[in-house]
């Protein structure tokens, strides 16, 4: 989740008027002669018939233009509630390190009761459009703009830093299913849940259209470069998201993924039409979960093709919602995660020893469907922590057990979260009591580490003579890439970030060609105030990333790691009919292949695709398509220290007896064991020729009819694969289908060879010998082979 620490703070967010003017693009409008298609990022959806000006944002390799010293993104979330009006430290536009960031996500707007984007009613107390800060250096309003507040200051500084793009972020933990009115009262409007999904689970297209139209108008009026959707969460996993939304969200679970896709497609198409009209490309991004649990309920994250990039919330991986003490945002797995061990992840063979509560696993999950450069990993500038920790090594992988959850947090067993001086940025529960979480800005954590009681503590309800108990000793695990503070006297564990971990993560981004980083939130960064002898809000970590990125090589702009055929066929593939929530294990969708060409695909036609190494290399089908692993880029028995490569490449074939006519579809029962985003880099091979698939949206491909134009080359990703060539039937015949096995599971439609005959399963079966079940039995005799 984007940190629940802001849930209470959003009570300070106020509203906005909608008067304004369109601010200019941050990039020059391309000439009419520009080849816009050459600038389209690999895999990005193209709205039919709309000439999108991609070159206003992307170069001819499909990479985003961010300035000569910004080879990777540094996206900072800038919140609307740290105004200083409550006596606590402010974070205003003038405090942003504008020369170090590439994008700013303004948090948050919300979905109002009329399904429109909003930041509330206009007025002088509205932080977004009405508030002013007299006497604060750098916070002087731009008199040329018809609105005040944060929006005025953001656009004032954008004039000085024209390469920085701003996005309005909608939703967040606190306002996904409702919003806070101008008095701070929560309005349970339904938010994203009811705007996009009807009560019966069907798509609410009218609500989606209203929201998308209002969003386009909003970003134009207030000078934003696009919109960031922070919907927490459109997953079928029961009880996921803010407990305050559960009554509404649980009732709609079965329809959330489909309506999320409809929302993103609609936003993309309406933004594209606005882009064509205005001569500049408007960006669309999302904040996506990194938890394997949440992603299992988001199917194959089918919305990726509509996004300019995805920001992975690769934090909140451990916290006081349960008792397992671990890092907030580990980069890698170490094989010792106590929560995963308890769930049998390391000992269950199907998981392949793959630990999935770390940034590297989450990155690879999305890498399955997107170029590395369209992915940004999240970094937390806040801590999470526990008290009364028992066991572990300096608290790491210990337990902090309690049965009492904060009011409103639901019936689950919670961990014993740190409180008081160890919980400076806390929320309040529904009884207005401190919610234990160990949440602090990094600048406060640095003061704890140094034994300093900052002069700001009185602003958070502590007395000026507050003393620290015990010593906060910095610890670091180089395998996890995770620092933390351990107070042995108090048994307090606070998961942190600092220059060492952030620099290591920046190196990881550069080495793997990743697009960049996303920060929640800028106000948590630190700097040293020598005059006061304390750490305060600063830009130390952001500067460390900037310094590492400014001379880096360009990010990875291609999805495939090998060259694919340049000619593509109009063949559609989809993964759907996923079981819901906890029923979806193993993950078992239907793979549907539809032939939209004018040519019949003969039996034996081979399809190959890549799925990410976030799922072990043990995918299979139960439909007789002989799914075979062709290549795995990760061959280790676990992912300690990171997955070694991006893809598992899989082959499957139409059964020899089953041709696929024009307009026809075939369905395959597919099974795999950990989440992966939509498989990509497809090829189809028949009559000795290989083609890409138009549905992949790859750059540089031309859609053709089979046999027309220049003959495409065979699939270069692997060359001939003898393991998929027809071989003798072990039962004595010459059938090229896989031989029947008494220990294998077969789904409806599966075909096998047995006794020199083809056999097709009518329903699921195991251990029933073909030819022995009779005419009304499971196996249908398809004849000799």
Query: If pLDDT is split at 50, 70 and 90, which confidence band does 785 have?
Result: low
Helix (H) or strand (E) holding 495: strand 492-495
**Residue 250 token pair:** 């649980």
Number of neighbouring beta carbons within 10 Å of residue 656: 18
**Averaged over 255-267, what is the pLDDT?**
98
- Local structure of residue 623 (DSSP, 8 states): S
What is the percentage of the chain residues whose pLDDT exceeds 70? Answer: 91
Residue 292: strand pairing partners = none
Residues 6+ apart with CB under 8 A from 461: none
Residues forming CATH 2.60.40.290 domain(s) in the chain: 567-724
Does residue 522 carry a pLDDT above 80? yes
The least confident of 144-153, 653-662, 770-779 is 770-779
CA distance 228 to 2: 12
Q: Which residue is it, tokens 């959806």?
A: 45
pLDDT at 684: 98
Does residue 28 carry a pLDDT above 60? no
Does residue 29 carry a pLDDT above 80? no
Query: If pLDDT is split at 50, 70 and 90, which confidence band does 766 have?
Result: confident
Residue 497's Cβ-count burial label (10 Å; 0-12, 13-18, 19+) is buried
CB distance 288 to 307 below 8 Å: no
Does residue 176 carry a pLDDT above 80? yes
CA distance 383 to 444: 10
Residue 752's Cβ-count burial label (10 Å; 0-12, 13-18, 19+) is buried
CA distance 262 to 63: 26
**Averaged over 530-541, what is the pLDDT?**
98
CA R_g for the chain? 27
DSSP 225-287: SEEEEE-S----STT-S-GGGHHHHHHTHHHHHHHHHHHHHHHHHHHHHHHHHHTSPPEEEEE
Residues forming CATH 2.10.10.20 domain(s) in the chain: 726-785
**Averaged over 744-768, what is the pLDDT?**
78
Does residue 612 carry a pLDDT above 70? yes
CA distance 206 to 189: 16
CA distance 556 to 747: 39
Long-range contacts of 730-736 (CB under 8 A, 24+ apart): 731/755, 731/756, 732/756, 733/757, 733/784, 733/785, 734/785, 735/785, 736/604, 736/656, 736/785
Q: pLDDT tens across 236-247, in order? A: 999 999 999 999
CB distance 379 to 499 below 8 Å: no
- Which of the two residues, 535 and 767, has the higher pLDDT score? 535
- Local structure of residue 293 (DSSP, 8 states): H
**Averaged over 480-490, what is the pLDDT?**
98
- Which of the two residues, 163 and 725, has the higher pLDDT score? 163
Domain 726-785 has CATH 1.20.120.160: no
CA distance 591 to 619: 12
**Averaged over 658-684, what is the pLDDT?**
97
CA distance 392 to 348: 23
CA distance 15 to 149: 10
CB distance 383 to 343 below 8 Å: no
Tell me how many degrees the CA angle 391-393-399 measures, rounded to the nearest 5.
35
Query: If pLDDT is split at 50, 70 and 90, which confidence band does 734 have?
Result: very low
**Residue 637 token pair:** 């028995």
Tell me how many degrees the CA angle 134-136-141 measures, rounded to the nearest 5.
60
Residue 583's Cβ-count burial label (10 Å; 0-12, 13-18, 19+) is exposed
Long-range contacts of 475-480 (CB under 8 A, 24+ apart): 475/394, 475/396, 476/500, 476/501, 477/327, 477/330, 477/334, 477/396, 479/332, 479/334, 479/640, 479/641, 480/327, 480/330, 480/331, 480/332, 480/333, 480/334, 480/358
pTM here is 0.89
pLDDT at 1: 41
- Which of the two residues, 93 and 715, has the higher pLDDT score? 93
**Averaged over 505-522, what is the pLDDT?**
98
Query: If pLDDT is split at 50, 70 and 90, which confidence band does 34 have?
Result: very low
The least confident of 22-36, 378-392, 598-612, 658-672 is 22-36
Residue 752: strand pairing partners = 759
Long-range contacts of 333-340 (CB under 8 A, 24+ apart): 333/357, 333/358, 333/360, 333/361, 333/480, 333/638, 333/639, 333/640, 333/641, 333/642, 334/477, 334/479, 334/480, 334/640, 334/641, 335/638, 335/640, 336/397, 337/397, 338/392, 338/397, 338/398, 338/399
**Residue 22 token pair:** 């369109």
pLDDT at 682: 98
Residues forming CATH 3.20.20.80 domain(s) in the chain: 4-313
pLDDT at 403: 86
DSSP β-ladder status, 103-111 and 73-79: parallel
Query: If pLDDT is split at 50, 70 and 90, which confidence band does 761 have?
Result: confident
pLDDT at 726: 32
pLDDT at 98: 98
pLDDT at 709: 53
CB distance 770 to 658 below 8 Å: no
CA distance 351 to 737: 28
Domain 567-724 has CATH 2.60.120.10: no
CATH topology for the 4-313 domain: TIM Barrel (3.20.20)
pLDDT at 413: 85
Q: Which residue is it, tokens 């536009």?
A: 93
CA distance 748 to 736: 19
Secondary structure (3-state) at 37: helix
Query: If pLDDT is split at 50, 70 and 90, which confidence band does 26 have?
Result: very low
């Amino acid at each position: 989740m984007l940190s629940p620490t802001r849930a209470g703070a959003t009570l300070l967010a106020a509203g906005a008027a909608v008067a304004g003017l369109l601010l200019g693009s941050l990039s020059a409008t391309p000439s009419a002669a520009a080849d816009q298609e050459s600038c389209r990022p690999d895999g990005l959806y193209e709205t039919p018939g709309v000439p999108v000006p991609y070159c206003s944002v992307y170069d001819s390799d499909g990479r985003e233009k961010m300035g000569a010293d910004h080879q990777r993104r540094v996206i900072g979330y800038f919140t609307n509630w740290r105004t200083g009006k409550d006596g606590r430290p402010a974070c205003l536009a003038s405090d942003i390190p504008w020369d170090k960031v590439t994008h700013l996500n303004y948090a948050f707007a919300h979905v109002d009761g009329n399904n429109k984007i909003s930041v509330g009613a206009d007025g002088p107390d509205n932080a977004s459009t009405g508030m002013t800060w007299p006497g604060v250096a750098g916070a002087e309003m731009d008199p040329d703009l018809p609105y005040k507040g944060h929006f005025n200051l953001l656009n004032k500084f954008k004039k000085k830093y024209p390469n920085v793009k701003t996005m309005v972020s909608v939703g967040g933990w606190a306002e996904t299913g409702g919003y806070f009115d101008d008095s701070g009262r929560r309005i349970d409007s339904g938010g994203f849940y009811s705007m996009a999904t009807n009560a019966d689970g069907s798509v609410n297209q009218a609500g989606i259209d209203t929201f998308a139209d209002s969003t386009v108008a909003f970003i134009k009026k207030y000078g934003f470069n696009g919109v960031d959707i922070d919907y927490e969460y459109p997953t079928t996993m029961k009880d996921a998201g803010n407990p305050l939304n559960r009554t509404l969200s649980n009732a709609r679970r079965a329809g959330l993924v489909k309506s999320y896709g409809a929302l993103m497609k609609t936003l993309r198409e309406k933004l594209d039409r606005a882009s064509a009209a205005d001569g500049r490309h408007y960006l669309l991004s999302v904040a996506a979960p990194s938890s394997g649990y949440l992603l299992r309920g988001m199917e194959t994250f089918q919305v990726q093709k509509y996004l300019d990039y995805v920001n992975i919330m690769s934090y909140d991986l451990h916290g006081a919602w349960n008792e397992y003490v671990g890092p907030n945002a580990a980069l890698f797995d170490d094989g010792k995660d106590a929560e995963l061990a308890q769930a049998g992840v390391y000992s269950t063979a199907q998981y392949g020893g793959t630990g999935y509560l770390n940034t590297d696993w989450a990155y690879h999950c999305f890498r399955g469907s997107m170029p590395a450069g369209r992915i940004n990993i999240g970094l937390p500038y806040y801590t999470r922590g526990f008290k009364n920790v028992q066991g572990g090594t300096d608290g790491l992988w210990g337990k902090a057990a309690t049965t009492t959850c904060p009011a409103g947090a639901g019936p689950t067993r919670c961990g014993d979260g740190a409180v008081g001086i160890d919980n400076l940025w806390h929320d309040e529960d529904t009884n207005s009591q401190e919610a234990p979480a160990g949440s602090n800005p990094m600048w406060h954590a640095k003061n704890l580490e140094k034994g300093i009681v900052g002069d700001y503590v009185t602003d958070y309800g502590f007395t000026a003579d507050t003393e620290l108990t015990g010593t906060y000793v910095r610890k670091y695990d180089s395998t996890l890439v995770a620092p933390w503070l351990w107070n042995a006297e108090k048994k307090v564990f606070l998961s942190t970030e600092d220059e060492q971990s952030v620099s290591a993560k920046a190196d990881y981004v550069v080495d793997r060609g990743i697009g960049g980083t996303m920060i929640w939130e800028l106000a948590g960064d630190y700097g040293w105030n020598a005059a006061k002898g304390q750490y305060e809000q600063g830009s130390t970590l952001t500067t460390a990333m900037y310094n590492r990125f400014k001379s880096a090589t360009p990010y990875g702009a291609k999805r495939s790691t090998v060259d694919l055929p340049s000619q593509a066929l109009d063949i559609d593939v989809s993964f759907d009919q996923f079981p819901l929530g906890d029923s979806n294990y193993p993950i078992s969708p239907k793979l549907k292949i539809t032939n939209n060409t004018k040519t019949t695909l003969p039996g034996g036609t081979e399809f190959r695709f890549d799925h990410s190494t976030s799922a072990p290399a043990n995918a299979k089908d139960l439909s007789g398509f002989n799914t075979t692993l062709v290549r795995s880029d990760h061959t280790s028995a676990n992912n300690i220290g990171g997955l070694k490569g991006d893809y598992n490449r899989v082959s499957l074939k139409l059964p020899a007896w089953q041709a696929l006519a024009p307009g026809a579809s075939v369905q395959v029962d597919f099974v795999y064991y950990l989440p992966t985003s939509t498989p990509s880099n497809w090829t189809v091979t028949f009559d000795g020729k290989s083609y890409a698939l138009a549905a992949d949206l790859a750059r540089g491909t031309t859609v053709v009819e089979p046999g027309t134009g220049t003959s495409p080359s065979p699939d270069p990703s692997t060359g001939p694969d003898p393991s998929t060539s027809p071989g003798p039937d072990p039962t004595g015949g010459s059938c090229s289908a896989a031989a029947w096995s008494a220990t294998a599971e077969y789904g409806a439609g599966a075909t096998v060879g047995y006794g020199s005959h083809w056999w097709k399963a009518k329903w699921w079966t195991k251990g029933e010998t073909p030819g022995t079940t009779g005419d009304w039995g499971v196996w249908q005799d398809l004849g000799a082979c």
